Structure 1
Amino acid sequence: MNLFADIRSLVIDCLDVLAAEGQLPGGLDYANVTVEPPRDPAHGDMATNAAMVLAKPAGLKPRDIAEALATKLAGDDRIASADVAGPGFLNMRLAATVWHGVVKAALTDPDYGRSAMGQGQKINVEYVSANPTGPLHVGHTRGAVFGDALASLLDYAGYDVTREYYINDGGAQVDVLARSVYLRYLEAHGQEVAFEDGTYPGDYLIEVGEALKAKVGDAFVDKGEQDWLDEVRDFATERMMQMIREDLAALGVSMDVFYSEKSLYGTGRIEAAIEDLRGKGLIYKGTLEPPKGKLPEDWEPREQTLFKSTEYGDDVDRPIMKSDGSWTYFAPDIAYHFDKVSRGFDALIDVFGADHGGYVKRMKAAVAALSDNAVPLDIKLTQLVKLYKNGEPFKMSKRAGTFVTLRDVVDAVGKDVTRFHMLTRKNDAPLDFDFDKVTEQSKDNPVFYVQYAHARVHSVLRKADVDVSDATLAGADLSGLTHPAELALAAKLAEWPRLVEIAARTHEPHRVAFYLYDLASELHALWNRGNDDTSLRFIQEGDSEATQAKIALIRAVSVVISHGLGILGVTPAEEMR
């Protein structure tokens, strides 16, 4: 059930009647006709722009269309009133029975809020994709939560979703990792070592060095790189990926695909992708203009192999091969996305950190060229996370060397708090994470406030002395739910299916977190009203019928909260202490 879609269908039906009666010309395009909540709730429950968007093509005044439409709408039992406002906006109030139907739908339909909008389209969501050179840090945490919640949201909206992690194991950084592990390996054999030349000094590699010693003994001691680099690199990468998988699992993230960058090298895949672009006339030899601003001392104009990315909206064409004949870092990324396109995905989403902002246009250009503009790529950037404790900037990890790890955060406050709070801001807005505030029990903490609403409902269910099974509650007589606060809560429930589709369409899972906070606020407000007005209390002593009706309403709230938290990857609380 999607009440907004149902009322929009009613509006369209009424417009068709007006056209059949000759009050509107036939063949009007209704695509831009919307039904949504009015900006000011005092104006009504829903508003439609039908008269405003149809006036010009119909050759009529908006207000004339609105008045005719209002007359038709008023004849439907679901519409309590339809009033024209301003130049032609139409505000509607719905009958109480409509809101009662929403409550019943939430209780009886296990898929209440789910959408078929995606129509099974295959969509690939790539996120985290950190270099396998160390533990995931707090920045990766935000990208992991955002990407995972987005994937769940799209699945909920009817898409066929693949969660994917791109392992950056093909560049020089994994050689540095191997050298760092080798130093820890020598250390495990009792040697003094120094971390130089950019090697990784984090304590997390101590156990990897010891594991390497347990595997090969002293076979690599005092040997040159040519004897151990390849084997240590593979060993270290696998151990790092094992650590990353464990960290993601602690956060509740499970990937469908781990795709290795290394698998692109020596297999002809990079060459195939570049040849595809060459066949489209998009690869050429040329010399780029000097970079803007102060030139680097070592800059010199040189001929390079370039991808004509400006043909697809990029600012400049991009090198794909160095002057020595080796690939640039962009070439394997092109090949990787060519592989995604070849796997038959209808759309791609990449979740990158804020430092990848300059990478967006070139990657979009590559996918547009590779797919002949058939496969859209949306790149979502997640901004930085600032950590605080007692209001002060906070550092807590020595194990990682220079940063706070994902595991540090999860161990400190738990998976659920971490995930919810990471979605309390839009992905491209900076996020403050205060370890004290995210665990405090107050309205200012959205994690607590939403969980408390769910737990409050379950507390009522435990205390009620009537049958509170969902089947019984769905059959309860809800006609007694007439107070504006009760109907407002039901109206907020009605927004859930619409919210899911908007959030999925815009790729913004934070909207779910915002909605859940608003829904929880309505529930808490109704609870507080019951302190003064006993007729609003959820348990009405001696009146089982009224009790079941009121509990049906709040049970529907807990159902929707549970659905929403499920999308966010958060376990609903049934009890809080």
Structure 2
Amino acid sequence: MSESQTLYAAFAAKIDAVLSALELEGALPPETARGNVSIEPPRDPSHGDLSTNAAMVLAKHAKTNPRALAEKIVEHLQRDPLIESADIAGPGFINLGLAPQIWIEEIGAIAKLGEDYGKSDTGAGARVNVEYVSANPTGPMHMGHCRGAVVGDALANLLEFAGHEVIREYYVNDAGGQVDTLARSAHLRYREALGEDVGATPDGLYPGDYLKPVGEAAAQEFGERYKDAPEEEWLAIFRAFAVERMMQLIKSDLALLGIRHDVFASEAALQAAGKPEAAEAWLREHDLIYDGELEAPKGKAPPDDWEPVELPLFRSTKFGDDQDRPIRKSDGKWTYFGADLAYHMQKAENADALIDIWGADHAGTVKRIKAAVAALSEGQGEPIPFDVKLVQMVQLLRDGEPAKMSKRSGNFVTISDMVDEVGKDVVRFSMLTRKPEAQMDFDFAKVIEQSKDNPVFYVQYAHARIRSILRRAEDEGIAPSAAHLDRLGEHDLALVKQAAQFPREVEAAARAREPHRIAFYLYDLAAAFHALWNMGNDDPQKRFIVAQDGELSAARLFLAAQIGQIIRNGLAILGVDAVEEL
């Protein structure tokens, strides 16, 4: 096995070589497709170290039954000195038991690759646009944005680690009615900054203290020029001014979570460039938009003032929607859906694949926006792969009770509040401890609890323990060494087997677009490390520093250092720092 090749890739290559040999022998047809052949750990560790389904998926091509093909594969594998056992299980799975030397070599591979251990070239440099957060620029970041922000940022990290080129994008919704409301709210605070008693915030405007600095900045910028001016004179000016200040605030809040974006795409700029008109023209050309009357609201009598209006409609029903959807309003302005079509067309111009991170409340629009993107990107060549990840909201608790709101925001808990209280790393890791489509609770008391039930603490504690034992060893004059790794026992190598799964977990998580898998893996690795550590409480010979046995101590310290490296690599994907001590 090559020093730079990790274990699962190496044994996948061995299986591939056996299948090539069987083709030469005539046991398999030439150029048999092997894409579904896998090699992975058995579900039951007592069955061996690795398992392959090669015989199961290729038997039909070989015109034989799986067990018969498995016997031929096993015959070849048994010639390999690094494979101690090759057994056929069930209808044709092959379980392999590996020589201890394999696991010792894997420890060396982790040490050699260091920060690169687990990295993959499966992405092959493909450009993936990941759009996440994209909150309206009307206030500070709050918990409604936090989970999607963390999932999107961790996914971007994961895809880069797996060999993709990633574009991190934020879509600034600065062309809708909400920014007019923002402008009016900022103008109110502007008048207040100039000394006017504005009283309570009028209905329909944004409350919260976060707009006071915007009003003060406007007062410094404009003086009293717009204090008593009619709205038509200042609305556009205050819209641009307030959006710019809000985006500064949003970027500052996201930075508290370690979140960055490469591109901030403006909806207003998109419309100014005529992109929605271009998208509409292409869709009309391909009979995917027509002028028709929007149906009356279903399930109830239409309002008294409702009357049918002819609008440009996208043929959503062609793609499984329950009705066709307008891309313009009756006043000629673009609907959110219409503008979104053009925005995705713009993104597709510079990427090989698109991924959007949306709140679960957008679930109803997924099918039609996917259909529209497929149609539009087909106009530029092949339809571009497009995936939408839906993220459920988070319920904020404090000792099981709903958390209080923030004065700064007026009616919600901000990301700034959260990070100030529990820290960036706790927030980020916690957001990835459940699948994003599952509901989750974030209890301020529990996420800082020092127990096995708190995954954040449990993983961080494993790394801190490793750093602690290495510092203690240094004080005692014992250095980690790979010279005597053959002294490691069965329990030590069981931890290596868990560690060796990291590269395949990265590839699987990247393929599925699911960064939470890395958090799950790190918890399991931490559990395996803590279990080995705890064995030393009952048996001094199983401790990482064994009295009067420098060789075994050096080997176990070397192993511990590599486990620490993998924890750091995994936490880096999640955007979490590895602590030195707790």
Please say whether Structure 1 and Structure 2 have the same fold, judged by a TM-score greater than 0.5: yes
Name the TM tier (shorter chain). Answer: over 0.9
1:106 aligned partner: 110
Q: Residue 87 of structure 1: CA displacement? A: 1.6
Q: Aligned ranges for residues 112-511 of structure 1 at < 5 Å?
A: 112-188=117-193, 189-297=195-303, 298-342=305-349, 344-372=350-378, 373-465=382-474, 473=481, 475-483=482-490, 485-511=491-517
Task: Note the C-alpha offset of 1:59.
Answer: 1.9
Deviating beyond 6 angstroms after TM superposition, the runs of 4 or more aligned structure 1 residues are 466-469
Superposed counterparts of 1:535-546, under 5 Å: 535-546=541-552
Q: How far did residue 289 of structure 1 move?
A: 4.1
Q: Which residue of structure 2 aligns with residue 61 of structure 1?
A: 65
Alpha-carbon distance change, 27 to 260 in structure 1, aligned in 2, over 3 angstroms: closer
- After superposing the two structures, state which structure 1 stretch, 213-222 or 368-377, moved more: 213-222
Of residues 50, 53, 60 in structure 2, which corresponds to 1:49?
53
Would you say 1:558 and 2:554 are equivalent positions? no
Q: Unmatched 5+ residue regions in structure 2?
A: none
The letter for the 2-side match of 1:380 is: K
Give the 3-state SS of the residue equivalent to 2:167 in structure 1: strand
Look up the SS of the partner of 1:464 in the other structure.
helix
How far apart are residue 196 of structure 1 and its match? 2.7
Offset at residue 6 of structure 1 (A):
1.7
- Cα distance in 2, alignment partners of residues 171 and 467 from structure 1: 66
TM-score (norm: length of structure 2): 0.95
**Alpha-carbon separation, structure 2, partners of 1:172 and 1:468:** 67
Give me the whole-angstrom Cα distance separating, in 2, the residues matched to 1:299 and 1:481. 79
Q: What is the aligned length? A: 571
Mapped partners of 1:62, 1:333: distance in 2: 50
Counterpart secondary structure, 2:368:
helix
1:97 partner letter: Q
Distance 1:292 1:8, change over 3 A: farther
| Bigger Cα displacement from structure 2, 75-84 vs 505-514 | 75-84
CA drift at 1:447: 0.5
Contact 2:467 2:581 in 1 (8 A): yes
* Rounded Cα–Cα distance in structure 2 between residues aligned with 1:528 and 1:104: 25
Query: Secondary structure in 2 aligned to 1:123?
Result: strand
Q: For 1:267 and 1:510, how far apart are their aligned partners in 2?
A: 38
1:436-461 CA deviation, whole Å, 9 max, x = no partner? 11001111111111011101111111
Q: Secondary structure at the match of 2:487?
A: coil
Measure, in 2, the Cα distance between the counterparts of 1:299 and 1:507.
Answer: 44
Q: Aligned residue for 1:525?
A: 531
The whole-number CA distance in structure 1 between the counterparts of 2:259 and 2:344 is 23
Question: Is the partner of 2:327 in helix, strand or coil?
Answer: strand
Post-superposition offset of 1:78: 2.0
Alpha-carbon distance between aligned partners in 1 of 2:374 and 2:522, rounded to the nearest angstrom = 36
TM-superposition CA deviations, 1:256-296 (whole Å, max 9, x none): 11111111233322212222222323221123444442244
Per-residue deviation, residues 187-246 of structure 1 (Å, max 9, x unmatched): 222323343341111121122212222222222222210221111111111111111010
Paired residues of 1:438 and 1:445 also in contact (CA < 8 A): yes
Q: What is the DSSP-based 3-state SS (H/G/I as helix, E as strand, rest coil) of the residue aligned with 1:321?
A: coil
- The equivalent residue for 1:3 is 7
- State the Cα deviation string for residues 19-39 of structure 1 (Å, max 9, x = none): 333444444322211111112
Distance 1:545 1:340, change over 3 A: same
Which SS does the other structure have where 1:552 is aligned?
helix
- The answer to whether the 8 Å contact 1:96/1:482 transfers is no
Q: Is the 8 A contact 1:313 1:365 kept in 2?
A: no
CA contact (8 A) 2:130 2:167 kept: yes
Contact 1:312 1:369 in 2 (8 A): no
Q: Distance in 1 between matches of 2:554 and 2:319?
A: 60
Distance in 1 between residues matched to 2:364 and 2:104, nearest whole Å: 51
CA distance in 1 between counterparts of 2:33 and 2:432 reads: 38
1:78 to 1:316, Cα distance in 2 relative to 1, 3 A: farther
SS of match in other structure, 2:463: helix
Decide whether the 8 Å contact of 2:209 with 2:410 is kept in 1: yes
Cα distance change of structure 1 residues 311 and 2 upon mapping to structure 2, 3 Å threshold:
farther
Distance in 2, matches of 1:244 and 1:323, equals 33
Whole-Å Cα distance in 2 between the matches of residues 292 and 264 of structure 1? 33
Deviation at 1:323?
A: 2.8
Displacement after TM superposition at 1:41 (Å): 1.8
Q: Which moved more, 1:530-539 or 1:452-461?
A: 530-539
**What's the Cα RMSD here?**
1.7
Secondary structure at the counterpart of residue 272 of structure 2:
coil
Partner letter of residue 353 of structure 1? G
Q: Distance in 2 between matches of 1:356 and 1:295?
A: 26
TM-score, scaled to structure 1:
0.95
Q: Which residue pairs with 2:84 in the alignment?
A: 80
C-alpha contact (below 8 Å) 2:478/2:550 kept by paired residues: no
- What does the per-residue CA deviation read over 1:295-342, in whole Å, with 9 as the maximum and x for residues that have no partner? 442544332111224445544322112233222222221111111112
**Distance in 1 between residues matched to 2:477 and 2:373, nearest whole Å:** 57
Moved more, 148-157 or 190-199: 190-199
Q: Partners in 2 of 1:58 and 1:293 — Cα distance?
A: 58
Q: Percent identity?
A: 56
Q: CA deviation at 1:66?
A: 1.6
Tell me if the contact between 1:367 and 1:376 (Cα under 8 Å) persists in the aligned partners: no
